[in-house]
């Protein structure tokens, strides 16, 4: 089991002609093994202050480790990958399906 908490500060999350707005986010995540090589992953980014455009972004995934590879089937309510996109939040009743493949080289 692994748990993570990372505070973030994002400068200028305003859009278009909006004033410069700073936003604070608390990145939370966890990973739990529930079978020999299968994991459940959960992460979220609630805002702790600043500009609030949409609901907080969250994601969950099922991961399978095969040798040095990890296959991940991910569901998220927002496509954000940068801190500014994550600070803006996700869509409340929308899930996007994603797939990741990673490889450990050491």
Which is more confident, 29 or 48?
29
pLDDT at 4 over 70: yes
Q: Please, which contacts does 78-83 make with residues 24 or more away whose CB atoms are closer than 8 Å?
A: 78/54, 83/8, 83/10, 83/25
Which range of 19-28, 42-51, 57-66 scores highest in mean pLDDT? It is: 57-66
What is the full DSSP assignment across 3-47? Answer: EEEEEEEES----TTPPP--EEEEEEEEEEEEETTEEEEEEEE-E
User: CB within 8 A of 20, min separation 6: which ones?
Assistant: 11, 12, 14
């Amino acid at each position: 089991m692994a748990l993570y908490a990372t505070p973030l500060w994002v400068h200028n999350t305003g859009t278009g002609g909006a004033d410069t707005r700073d936003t604070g986010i608390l990145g939370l995540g966890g990973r739990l093994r529930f079978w020999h090589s299968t994991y459940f992953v959960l992460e979220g980014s609630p805002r702790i202050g600043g500009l609030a455009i949409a609901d907080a972004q969250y994601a969950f995934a099922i991961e399978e480790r095969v040798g040095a590879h990890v296959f991940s089937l991910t569901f998220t309510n927002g496509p954000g990958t940068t801190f500014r996109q994550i600070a803006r939040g996700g869509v409340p009743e929308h899930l996007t399906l994603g797939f990741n493949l990673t490889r450990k080289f050491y």
